[in-house]
Amino acid sequence: MPYGSPVATDPQRVFDDLRDVAARVRGHLEAEISESVEESPAQMAPAGQISRFAQEERARVLEAGVTGLEKLAGNRADEIDEDEYFGVEAIVLLEGRPAILVQGQDFVAPEGDWSVLDGGRAAIRDSLGRVGRVEVTGHPSLDWVGTAFLVGPRTVMTNRHVAVEFSRTEDAGWSFQQGMSARVDPGEELPAGPGPAPALGPAPYAITEVIGIHPEVDMALLRVVPPDGAPLPSPLAVAADAPATLPGRPVYVIGYPAWDGRRNEPESMRRIFMDVYNVKRLQPGTATEFAPGGLVMKHDCSTLGGNSGSPVFDLADHRVLGLHFGGRYGLGNFAVPLWELVDDPLLARAEVNWV
């Protein structure tokens, strides 16, 4: 089946019961229709009309997807037309690999297979507060450059390609570029309603030093301090050993997906992210591939460019398994398997919290 998903998923692998998913999506569509049976007034503002048209188009796509899922469940894949393929992919991305908005340091767990997130809510909320957006001042074109997360008493981890946006190499190591500074903001959520977002969770903390850039993998370790000498949250637990099994293991990513038309197909991005970017999201999926002894693991969470530097968590015990560093449209996403670096001297110097 020629799916165009940026994470190369297929519905039979993503969903346990195709008929159940089809029935749930159809029920949501019927509820939406019943809530909007009244005719729109003739004088409706253009913005309102556009919103109505977008909603109708989304409903049309999902209705076609429901029909496609029902055909798949009935072993009639050869009967699925192009519109139904497109709709099935939309359902896979929205239901099977969602990008859930974080608001008020919390999230609304979706129905279906990912309702399992409710069972780990307390631990996931703890994880949310230890992941932040890397923001820069003095950069010629960017306000923020990626994601970072607490891995040591005063240490955050991110990607090399994030850190080089504000730092440079010198004979004695790395330092900030002239006139630039950076910080990690654990907030930056989409406001729950109109008006400015309330101050929630830990305050931003300044990046004061580049501890080091890893010579082999896309990783940087940075020293941070909280404002006014307040204590930092305790670091995340980083996996010191590999899970018993990896392919098919439920995982989740936390980060700040940003619009990235260079590496992702725009319509797939809109179906997942609904044109809301640059804010904190919870992105569940599965680990898909790892060769023992290697320095790359793959996963299929719905990530974008701003997720560079995001942690990949094991949903079973909430340890950080990997450092997300990129993805390739139609193939999947890539992360550094951190347990493979448990004896690395740079991570020892950064006092990584191995568990």
Q: What is the pTM of this model?
A: 0.85
pLDDT grade, residue 200 (50/70/90)? low
Percent of the chain scored above 90 by pLDDT? 57
Q: Is pLDDT at 280 greater than 50 in this prediction? A: yes
The single residue listed with the structure tokens 């530097």 is 309
Q: What is the dihedral of CA 142, 144, 146, 149, to 10 degrees?
A: 160
Q: Which of 190-199, 205-214, 296-305 tops mean pLDDT? A: 205-214
Structure tokens at 197: 């977002």
Among the residue ranges 38-42, 164-168, 174-178, 222-226, the one predicted with the least confidence is: 38-42
> H-helix or E-strand containing 216?
none
pLDDT for 302:
84
Kindly state the tokens that stand for 117: 């997130």
Instruction: Count Cβ atoms below 10 Å from residue 316 Cβ, excluding itself.
Output: 12
Q: Is the pLDDT of residue 268 over 60?
A: no
CA angle in degrees (0–180, nearest 5) for 18-303-337 = 100
Tokens of residue 55, six digits: 């909603």
